Structure 1
Amino acid sequence: MPIEVLPVRPSFVARVIGADLTALSPAATAAIGTAIDTYSVLIVPDQHLDDDHLLTLGKTFGDVEPPRNHRVVQRLKHAELADISNLDANNRLRAADDHRRLDSLGNRLWHSDASFREVPGALSMLFAHVVPPAGGETEFADLRAAYDALDAPMQARIEGLAVEHSIFHSRGQLGHTDYTDAERAALPPVLHPLVRVHPVSKRKTLYMGSHASHIVGWPMPDGRLLLRDLMEHATQREFVYRHAWRVGDLVIWDNRCTMHRGRSYDDATHPRDLRRVTTKDLSMLQPA
Structure 2
Amino acid sequence: MATALSPARTRLVQEEIKPVIGTRILNTKEELLAGDLGPEIRELLEQRGVLVFPRINFNDEEQIAFTKTLGTFAPELQDGTDHKIHKITLDVKENPQSAEYLKGSLYWHIDGTMNDTPILASLLSCKVPATWGGNTGFCNTYAAYEALTDEQKAEYETMRVVHSVWATVFYYEPEPSLAKLKGMQRIGENELPLVWNHRSGRKSLVLGCTAHRVVGVEPMKSAEVLVGLREWATGEQFSYSHEWSVGDLVIWDNTGTMHRAEKYDPACNRMMHRTKLQGEEPFEE
Give the TM-score range, shorter chain: 0.7 to 0.9
Letter in 1 for 2:208: G
**What is the one-letter code of the residue matched to 2:134?**
G
Residue of 74, 85, 88 corresponding to 1:84: 88
2:227 alignment counterpart: 228
Larger Rg: 2
Tell me if structure 2 keeps the 8 A contact 1:198–1:256. no
Is 1:53 the counterpart of 2:62 in the alignment? yes
Select the residue among 124, 148, 151 that pairs with 2:149.
Answer: 151
The gaps in structure 1 that reach 5 residues or longer are 71-76
Distance (Å, rounded) in 2 between the aligned partners of 1:12 and 1:162: 26
**Number of equivalences:** 272
Q: Is the 8 A contact 2:118 2:281 kept in 1?
A: no
Distance 1:251 1:84, change over 3 A: same
Distance 1:79 1:22 in 2: 26
1:121 match: secondary structure:
coil
Q: Secondary structure at the match of 1:163?
A: strand
**How far apart are the structure 1 equivalents of 2:250 and 2:108?**
17
Cα distance, 1:8–1:23 mapped onto 2, change above 3 Å: closer
Q: Alpha-carbon deviation of 1:149? A: 2.1
Contact 1:7 1:14 in 2 (8 A): yes
The reply on whether 1:6 has 2:9 as its aligned counterpart is: no
The two structures have a TM-score, normalised by structure 1, of 0.83
Aligned ranges 1:162-177 → 2 under 5 Å: 162-175=160-173, 176=176
Deviations 1:155-178 (A, max 9, x none): 100102221212222123322565
Superposition pairs of residues 89-168 of structure 1, within 5 angstroms: 89=93, 91=94, 100-168=98-166
CA contact (8 A) 1:21 1:57 kept: no
Per the TM alignment, residue 57 of structure 1 is displaced from its structure 2 partner at its CA by 3.2
Quote the Cα distance in structure 1 between the aligned partners of 2:153 and 2:142. Answer: 12
Q: Distance in 1 between matches of 2:48 and 2:114?
A: 24
Distance in 2, Cα, partners of 1:197 & 1:285: 8
Unmatched runs of 5 consecutive residues or more in structure 2: 1-9
What's the TM-score, normalizing by structure 2?
A: 0.84
Percent identical pairs in the alignment equals 27
Q: What is the distance in 1 between the residues matched to 2:228 and 2:181?
A: 32
Deviation at 1:35, TM superposition (A): 1.4
Q: Deviations over 1:79-98 (max 9, x none)?
A: 24332112233x5xx9xxx8
Of the candidates 275, 278, 283, which is equivalent to residue 277 of structure 1? 275
Backbone CA RMSD of aligned residues? 2.8
